[in-house]
Every structure is written in C-alpha cells, then in structure tokens.
Structure 1
Amino acid sequence: MTPTLAAHIPGILAPEFEADPYSSYSLMRDEAPVYYDDQLQAYVLSRYADVARAFKDPAFTNRNYEWQLEPVHGRTIVQMDGREHATKRAIVAPSFRPKVLFGQLAPIIETNAVRLVDEFVARGGCEYSSEFSRLYPINVTADMMGLPVEDLETFRGWYTAIIDFLGNLTGDEDIAAAGIRARDAMAEYMLPIIADRRENPGDDLLSTLCTAEVDGTRMSDEEIKSFASLLLTAGGETTDKVLTSLVAKLVEHPDQLADVRRDRSLIAAALAETLRVAPPLHMVMRQTAEEIDIAGTSIPEGSTVICLIASANRDPATFAAPDCFDIHRTDVDAAREFSGASKQLAFVHGRHFCVGSLLAKQEVEVGINVLLDRTSDIRLSEGFVPVEEGVFTRAPRRLLLDLTPAT
C-alpha cells in the first residue's frame, strides 16, 4: 500500500505549510518519513538518513531536471552523470577553487560589497534584502563573467522570472510562460557574447570556459550559456536568501552577533549554521532509476522523489537541539561544511555537491565583514519581525535594520 500523509499534517502545497514548514517537517519525520503526494505526484523524504542516501546512491538520478531545469536553463552539469558529468565538472571547477576566489576574484567580490553597503550605512538603516542581498550575488556573477554593468537590471528581470519558474509547484501557466520568455531572451543575449569570447578571450569566467578543455573536450556554446544561466539564477538565488537569513538570525541572537563581531573567523560557523537551520533551498528532486526500498516503502522505478533538505537538517537523530540557531554547536564542523565532507545538506552530497559552495562562502564572508566593518551596531528596526516566506526557496522577504555607523 502506498503511504500517504495523514490529514493533520499540512502537505507541501497547503497554506499552513508555507506559514510554518518546520512543524510539518517534524510530524513528517515522526509519522510519515516516506509518503506519496498526489498533488505533486512525487514521493517525499524527510529524514536525514534517507535524504542523504538519495544524494549519494546512484539509483537516485537527476533525470527529473530534464523537465524541471532544462526548459529554462538548457542542459547543465547538474543533470549529467558518469564520464560526461566528470569531464564537464572538471572544466568548470577550477574557476571556483580557493586560489581563484581568494586571488583574481577577491577584488570583484569586495568592490561590489563595499559599494552597496556604503550606500545605506550612512543613512543609518536599510531594507537589507532589497538593498543588498538581492543585488550583491548577481552583481558579482555578472562582473565575474565580464558582462556590462548597464545590463544588470535586465539580468535581474531574467533572474526573477526563472526563479519563479523553478518554484512553480502549482504549475501556474503565466509563471511558466514568463520563465520561457526569460530563457529565450537570455539565450539571444548570451550566445553572441560567448561566440565573441571564443574569438577574443579575456580574463573573465566566460572566456575561461570558452578556452578550457579536459581530455580534449570543451564546453559547447550552448553548455556555457546554460551554465551561465544556472550561475546567474540558481546560484544568485541561494546566496541572496542565505545572506538575508544569516543576518536575520544574527540580529535575532545579539549575543552571537557580538561574538561574530569580536571574532570574524566565526562568520563561517554562522553561515554553516544558517545553511543548516534555514537553508535557502528547502527541497530538491531526484528520479529513481530502479525500484528502491526506503524505510520499508517501495518506491517504483521512474518515480519523482522530493528530498526535504530543510527537514533533514533539523532531524534530531543527527543534530542536537536541531531547531536552535547556535553558531557554537559542536556537532557541526564549520571547516568541513563547504566541501563534500559537509554534514548539513544545503549543498547536497555526493557527486553533485554544489560546485559554487566556496564562491557562496567567499561572497558571504566578504559581505558580512564589510557590513561589520562599516557599523558599530546592527539591530532590527523597532517593531519589525522578520518573517520567512517561500516553499521551494525560503527566507525573509524583508529585513528592516537600524544601523549605527562605525566611528
């Protein structure tokens, strides 16, 4: 018998779920760790052990991305497997290694952070999400790719439409159509630039991808465009949301904010803990290549499986006091959380561990350092309470802060 969700547990599309997914996650882990969602036509996993297995076991494939990501991004490395995946990842990965991030990209990242922070600190306050976290990652990515600053507003429009498409769990036709239009416009914009970089390479990321090869294999123009689309949108969206969630968590825990201000090495721990307790991406999908037994439930071959990252990251079987934000927790090692040895699952596990994890870490560390350098105090605006929003991706939509400039 196919397990279903009991009536007292709000499912993923229920309004009560979006208002408080963490209560649903707790009930799912306890009562329905594997169940079938009729509306989403997918099996849902909520326990850490099961989600981690789905990320590592080759019986869980990325074939779902053929209909989930490919319509707006094209075919990217996240849906490749085997030798193809290994080769294309080997082409991309060197651009995201520490030597590059802490070397040639460091000035790009810091310049963008300083420019945005300096605009609002002098005013003594900001709406942090719209004035910093939504702008900063996509600005950095555009600079990395050598794209003109005057086109940033266009990129943000594509970014919004494609992110809405990816989170369109209800299948809204207008949202789907807007995503497809953004895909076509981005392709029309990017492909001539990629062709030009092949003929006239520079020192930007697009040029690097155009000229790099592994075992005689290069990325095609279409593959580079698809990777650029993925980096601009999926990478930008997750960094955007974790930046907002991280600052929200710290200002809600002023003792921990004070600790970070005194010891900047704790920024990495604060980021790792935010990724655990409030990951920007709450769920990812996989597709089974064969019939699989999970927790006594048989999942047929070809099934879509929704892996609830945010639930797994709060599983009490894996983390102590899992609902508490604690940058000093001893059951997570921040030094490992941005590599394939991570414990929290926000970057996924296994062969598809996020290639941009160190870029996200570098952007967050630089951005938070600049914010702390420019201020002596950061607090929530009087009467304001951050409220998380979203189902597929999630973070406070607004974060009103009062700031005291550093003297």
Structure 2
Amino acid sequence: MTTTPTTVPEKPDVLSAEFARDPHTYYKIMRDFYPVLHHEVSGYYFVSRYEDVARIYKDSVGFSNENYAFQMEPVIGKTVIQMGGREHAINRQLITPALRGNYLEELLPQVDELATEMIDKFRTAGRVDLAEDFTKWFPINVIVKMLDLPREDLPKFHEWYSSLMAFLANLTNDPEIHAWGMRTQQEYPAYILPIIAERRRNPGTDLISRLTQAEINDEQFSDEQIKALIGLLLIAGGETTDKSIASTLKYLIMHPEQLEAVRQDPSLATRALVETLRYHPPVQIILRTTTDDVEVAGTVIPVGSVVGCVNGAANRDERRFDDPDTYNIFRTDINIRQAFAGSADHIAFALGRHFCVGSLLAKREAETAINQILAAMPDIRFADGIEPTDAGLFTRGPESLIVEFTPAS
C-alpha cells in the first residue's frame, strides 16, 4: 500500500501546460489533497474521487445538466443530455430504439463492411497513421451511413463536431473558439434542416427518417429536436469513439502479451475496450451544475456552480480499483457484463439515468475496428519505436498513432 506524503503539494492548474502533458500525475494530487478543486479562472469545481463522481452522476437531487445550456445549446440546440424529469424520459425513449435493439443489429454488417473498406486502403502500406487515416473517420463514416448522407460531406461533419468539442471545452472563453462555434450554429442547421424536412415527407429506413416517425404517447420529435440530436450524435458518436479505438490500440501495442491474447481470442477485444474506458476514458471530464448548496468530500459547492466530474481521475482511484495505474484487460474488479449499462463499474459514459444511450453502438464499432486492425497487421508496432502522445482536456487520446507492420503477402 502506498503512503500519502505529509507535504501538501501545490494545487494543480488544469489549464497549465504541465497538466496537459501528464494529467494523471495531477489527478492523483487532486484525489489525495484536493478532492474538490476550485479553479479560479473558470470558476469550476473539479471532483476527482470515484465515490464522489459516481454520486454526482447518480444524484438527481442537488445536481443537474443545466450547464449544457451554455456548453452546447448555443451551437446545436437543446439535447436530451441537458433534459430532466419527464422531458428527459420521453426523449430517451424516443431515441433508444434508434441506437439499440433491432436497428443496431441491422446496422452491424454495414459497420463491418465500412471498417474493411477503410483498412483495405492501407493494408499493404507497411506504415500508417491509424488516428489520421482510420479512427478519426471511421465513426463518422458509420454515422453518415446511419443518416444516409453523402460521404463526400464527411469533412463538413468533422469540422462541425470539432468546433462543438472546442466550444464545449472553452474554459477561458477564447473568442476565436466562440466564433468557430457560432459559424457552426449557422452552417449546420442550414445543411441538415432541409434534409430532415424532406425525410419527414418521404421517409426511408435511415436514422433521420426513423426519428421523424418515432412516437410515444402522441409525442414526436420536431425538426429542431432532430437537428440537435444529430449534432449530439456527431459529438458522442464521433469524437469519443475515435479516441476509444485509438487509445485501445495504443495500449495494446504497449502491452504485447495482452495484444497477442486479443489476437488469439477476438472476444477479448471487449475486455480491452473496457479496460481502456477505465484506464484512459475518451471523455476525461463531464460537467454538471449544482441546484443547491451541496457538500462533496467536506467542501460545500455553492448553488449554481459548474462541477467538473473528472472521469480520468475517478477511474484510477486506488480507493476503488486494485493497482489502478496498471493497464490489465484481465482485471477482476470490473464486471464486463454490465460495462455498457448505467450500472457500469467504470466511469466513462457517466452513470445512472444519463448513461450514454449510444454505448452499445460504440462498443460494436470498437470491437470491429480493433479486431480487423490486429488481423490486418500481425506484427503491428509503433513507428520508429516512438510511443504516441495524448492531447486534450475534456476529451483525450493520441494526437497521432503512426504504426509499422509487415504487409500480408
């Protein structure tokens, strides 16, 4: 067991260059000495221990998702993740059939085909940046397929979701990032609303058409609501799945014995993904807002405060996980069967009622990507032996993932 040093280190600055290079060093300082860290520049309160973060996600009294009203709504509109009560329940019921169940089963063969098609382009290259040439685009390709939109518009979608992620994480109110978000506010609706209106008039089998026809208790989505939902899908289904896949491949390459185990038994790709979601979740921080004065870890957080739930810190809390700083796809303190449900042991998709409704789609995309990459690259390794570096505060993953391999003859 490690002992806590008696000297209290300086309070970490989440916006510092040092924090950006190695957040996990500072996450431990936060857990041990500043479990509720008030960041003066942003005014946010960052919570880092597993027990506290889990409580915030599950506690409907004292915390809300009102922060998305300024984080995302100005760009894409009001989405289900900022709703509460009956409004949230109805919207989630309308969305769920589109991302789980029969529709997901129908989509899965197309997910496999898309992965194969993309990998075929560099299968014989011997060297490739998997982040730039695969993981960055694969989830968007799936979303575009679901929406039945032109593939030549992929760069637009990537630009829009990149601006949304930057807008969401703009702690310093950078005017250029704000302006970028406002451009998306104009361009994205101008593109998608006419398509939604046409699918409502002439529905097909695509996701947009299904959403225009979805109905519960005589309630349907409006065109504006569908626009916002698709915007959310771009973020939740694009950026996060991209980083989940890239990080899993990175950590498997760093642990050759575990990589070989997955290669020999493709079903272990699920375990590898789940361990990545714990060890290095793609969404490092999710925000909530206090609806009352709330005490967390001995600190009273005032009503109306924005709280940063630091998933990346909570998932390596030694109070909850054994040997948390070790990447181990065979660990026994996570229940794999519930890893993609609201009762998950890891904290990567939030928990409780607001657990990510698209988690099963993300799971299947990642399993397909991991297994197809490993099959295509039997001796995959980091190019020039250089381990890729990560970047990002709210979402985090490899900036690039340049690998070398011997092409199959």
Common fold by TM > 0.5: yes
- Amino acid in the other structure paired with 1:260: V
Note the 1:367-386 alignment, pairs <5 A. 367-386=369-388
Q: Is the 8 A contact 1:373 1:406 kept in 2?
A: no
Change (3 A) 1:46 1:74: same
Q: 1:90 aligns with which of 93, 98, 109?
A: 93
Q: 1:159 aligns with which of 158, 161, 173?
A: 161
Q: 1:99 aligns with which of 102, 112, 118?
A: 102
> How far apart in 1 are the matches of 2:312 and 2:25?
11
Which residue matches 1:317?
Answer: 319
Give 1:249 shift.
Answer: 0.3
- Amino acid in the other structure paired with 1:252: M
> How far apart in 2 are the matches of 1:98 and 1:211?
17
Give 1:216 shift.
Answer: 0.7
- Amino acid in the other structure paired with 2:171: L
Give 1:7 shift.
Answer: 6.4
Which residue matches 1:56?
Answer: 58
Give 1:26 shift.
Answer: 0.4
> How far apart in 2 are the matches of 1:71 and 1:230?
13
Give 1:8 shift.
Answer: 1.9
Note the 1:2-401 alignment, pairs <5 A. 8-58=10-60, 59-101=62-104, 103-401=105-403
Q: Which runs of 5+ in 2 are unaligned?
A: 1-7
Moved more, 381-390 or 301-310: 381-390
Give 1:100 shift.
Answer: 2.4
> Aligned with 2:379: secondary structure?
strand
Give 1:111 shift.
Answer: 1.8
Q: Is the 8 A contact 2:47 2:307 kept in 1?
A: yes
> How far apart in 1 are the matches of 2:385 and 2:109?
37
> How far apart in 1 are the matches of 2:24 and 2:11?
11
1:205-237 deviations in Å (ceiling 9; x for gaps): 000000010111001100100000111123200
Q: Is the 8 A contact 1:121 1:404 kept in 2?
A: no
Alignment size in residue pairs: 401
- Amino acid in the other structure paired with 1:80: M
Moved more, 180-189 or 371-380: 371-380
State the superposition RMSD in angstroms: 1.2
Give the 4+ runs in structure 1 shifted more than 6 A: none
Give 1:374 shift.
Answer: 2.1
Query: Could you state the TM-score of these two structures normalised by the residue count of structure 2?
Result: 0.96
> How far apart in 2 are the matches of 1:179 and 1:378?
38
> Aligned with 2:252: secondary structure?
helix
Q: Is the 8 A contact 1:97 1:358 kept in 2?
A: yes
Give 1:79 shift.
Answer: 0.4
Q: Is the 8 A contact 1:272 1:337 kept in 2?
A: yes
1:138-180 deviations in Å (ceiling 9; x for gaps): 1110110111112112222222222222222221101110111
Give 1:128 shift.
Answer: 0.6
Query: Could you state the TM-score of these two structures normalised by the residue count of structure 1?
Result: 0.96
Give 1:9 shift.
Answer: 3.4
Q: Is the 8 A contact 1:243 1:364 kept in 2?
A: yes
> How far apart in 2 are the matches of 1:45 and 1:168?
19
> How far apart in 2 are the matches of 1:99 and 1:327?
30
